[in-house]
Amino acid sequence: MSHLILVSNDDGIEAEGLACLTRSLQGLGEVVVVAPARNHSGASHSLTLGRPLKVRRTAPGWFAVEGTPADCVNLGFFRLSGRPPDLVVSGINAGLNIGDDVAYSGTVAAALEGALLGRPGMAVSMDRASLGGDGWTAAGEVALLLARKILERGLPEDTLLNVNVPSGEPRGIRWTRQGRRIPHRPPEMGAGTAAVAAIGEEEFWISDLPLDWKNDPLSDYCAVSEGFISVTPLHLDLTHHRVLEELGGWQLSLE
Ligand SMILES: [Mg+2]
């Protein structure tokens, strides 16, 4: 039986990156696309509870869901793909998902949902500076290369790959670890603050402007800033195993 690949994203069903990713993976087997009807960037891994999820078939093998990226993969996996997929790929996101972004990213969460359901996952994101050029094509080629490799060799259990493609001609591919931003930027006051203040309200914008990064030559940030494609293996288990041992020394008793 040919491979079945479930594709999703967080930029929404009409995003250019989704079309490019789907085209790139077509040769590997059957591709089913289940994506949010609207942009859900920053949705992280939220699932929609307490209301039904509307699904609209927009083309053969394409489904738009009134929900989050994690909703899409969950529905795709159990209800819309016909059978469990061999691989879940998310993207191609318009904008990098490196370092701390991973905690907020809907693109990464879609791949993570695949891993939660027991299938290898891959999230692919591209530097915004490549938008408008042939960056999509370069990112699509990387997605194809890695998807083929995963289907051939598999991934360890509970693992996904977080792939980030820099702007310009990539110098190569580097295995990396998740970087850290320093410091986080406080939310900005909204321009309408004076007006809304009159009714006793304030408004703020959470900033997504670039910040400095902790200097780590092995990080995703460093690879991308030096022009390399970054591939970070992520896993589901957030337990900090080393610290678990350390904290085991605390005397905790309920008296
Ligand atoms: Mg996005």
47-86 as b/e, with b when 16 or more CB fall inside 10 Å?
ebeeeeeebeeeeebbbbbebbbbbbbbbbbeebbeeebb
Q: At what angle do helices 135-153 and 16-25 cross, to 10 degrees?
A: 40
Q: What is the domain partition of the chain in residue ranges?
A: 3-176+216-246, 181-212
107 Cα: distance to centroid of ligand 1 (angstroms): 6
106 Cα: distance to centroid of ligand 1 (angstroms): 7
Instruction: Report DSSP state, residue 167.
Output: S
- Assign domain 3-176+216-246 one CATH number from 3.30.360.10, 1.10.3720.10, 3.40.109.10, 3.40.1210.10: 3.40.1210.10
Q: Using CA atoms, how far apart are residues 161 and 192, in angstroms rounded to an integer?
A: 41
68 Cα: distance to centroid of ligand 1 (angstroms): 11
What is the per-residue pLDDT across 126-158, written as a single tens digit (0 to 9) for each?
999 988 777 898 899 999 999 999 999 999 999
198 Cα: distance to centroid of ligand 1 (angstroms): 35
Structure pTM? 0.93
What is the per-residue pLDDT across 79-127, written as a single tens digit (0 to 9) for each?
999 999 999 999 999 999 999 999 999 999 999 999 999 999 999 999 9
194 Cα: distance to centroid of ligand 1 (angstroms): 31
Q: Are 128 and 90 contacting, i.e. CB atoms less than 8 angstroms apart? A: no
Predicted pLDDT at 133: 74
16 Cα: distance to centroid of ligand 1 (angstroms): 11
Q: Using CA atoms, how far apart are residues 104 and 101, in angstroms rounded to an integer?
A: 5
How many CB atoms lie under 10 A from the CB of residue 151?
16
Predicted pLDDT at 210: 66
Q: Using CA atoms, how far apart are residues 103 and 109, in angstroms rounded to an integer?
A: 8
Q: Are 54 and 66 contacting, i.e. CB atoms less than 8 angstroms apart? A: yes
Q: Are 96 and 128 contacting, i.e. CB atoms less than 8 angstroms apart? A: yes
Q: Is the pLDDT of residue 189 over 90?
A: no
42 Cα: distance to centroid of ligand 1 (angstroms): 7
